[in-house]
Amino acid sequence: MAISGTTHKVGLIGWPVGHSFSPEIHNAAFSYCQLDYVYVPLPVEPDQLGLAVQGLSALGFSGANVTIPHKIAVMEYLDVIDATARLAGAVNTIVVQQGKLIGYNTDARGFITALEQNGFAVQGKRVLLLGAGGAARAVLAGLAGSGVELVVVAARQADQAQQLVELFPTVSVKSVLWSSPAFQQEVGQADFIIQATPIGMYPHCEAMPPLPIAQLKPAAVVCDLIYNPVTTKLLEQSAAAGHPVLSGLSMLVEQAALAFEYWIGQAAPRQTMGQAARKLVLKNSILLTKNK
Ligand code: NAP
């Protein structure tokens, strides 16, 4: 659809934003739904963040996504922040509603919905969460209220894992040091492993988190938040050992689909968005390999 003066605008606020998959995923969705919308990258330097966010309404934007490094800092410029975004400690989606800026976190719900859509239920289950960074916190925010039995956060820095645990007083959660014997015990008891570190991400595709797959329960589900590559070494080896697996691509698509639904108010074309994302992962890996 041709861009005109009446085209609705959605932006991606980050610094830098050149490598993001979001513009192509969202523009593919707008095009498929024949919506007069456009999604534009908006590189914003950190010291300009407040001005840029306040300008969204004046410029007639319907909303925006927010990415690294602004997901936390952006919160102080918003009028309303929903409960999940507060728990996640970060906003990745802004909706402009009658001049007010409302902040959401679709990573948190995106992860849980991706699990559900792939037939996995965490209710009453024990989860071992690897990593204690921003993505791990979003996953924990998503797990809060899911009826999960226990979440064990494993990190290489004990204080980092413990800090995360303390942010979730209403969830049954504890921390272990990744290198400790207690970690080895947790591995054998977990129903879900959720890998939330960058270990194994492109171009370091041969890297594996130190997880003894042979010690997992036979039915344990292994999820990796990494989406590039779509199938990490961890997922490849877990699947080979007979475990159900879930790639981070499902979460990537779902967080985008939920943002689309906040802005547009209609069901997102998940299949189209998934196809666009897969194509980008492939294109991106080929480009990076050529440039090595
Ligand atoms: P982050 O905030 O930098 O946190 C990374 C975490 O991993 C930290 O706890 C870090 O610990 C740990 N870590 C890093 N390298 C490690 C290693 N070699 N051994 C043990 N722990 C290690 O990053 P993030 O934003 O949480 O992102 C994590 C991953 O999730 C990335 O691969 C990202 O692409 C992915 N992600 C995917 C989606 C999706 O939609 N699928 C969404 C968000 C994020 P230290 O502080 O000790 O380094």
Helices (H) and strands (E) in the chain, counts: 10, 12
- CB-ligand 1 contact for 134 (6 Å cutoff): yes
Our answer to whether residue 71 is catalytic in this structure is yes
- CB-ligand 1 contact for 177 (6 Å cutoff): no
| Catalytic-labelled residue, pool 71, 100, 174, 292 | 71
- CB-ligand 1 contact for 201 (6 Å cutoff): yes
Task: Name the residue of 22, 159, 225 whose CB sits within 8 Å of the most ligand 1 atoms, as the mutation to test its pocket.
Answer: 225
The amino acid sitting at 180 is: S
The Cα–Cα gap between 103 and 90 comes to 9
**Partner residues linked to 151 by β-bridges:** 127, 173
The amino acid sitting at 252 is: L
Structure tokens at 39: 């999604």
Note down pLDDT in tens along the chain; length 292 residues: 799 999 999 999 999 998 889 999 999 999 999 999 999 999 999 999 999 999 999 999 999 999 999 999 999 999 999 999 999 999 999 999 999 999 999 999 999 999 999 999 999 999 999 999 999 999 999 999 899 999 999 999 999 999 999 999 989 999 999 999 999 999 999 999 999 999 999 889 999 999 999 999 999 999 999 988 889 999 999 999 999 999 999 999 999 999 999 999 999 999 999 999 999 988 876 655 555 5
- Counting atoms of ligand 1 from 1, which one is nearest the CA of 254? 40
Give the residue, by CA position, lying nearest to ligand 1 atom 48: 156
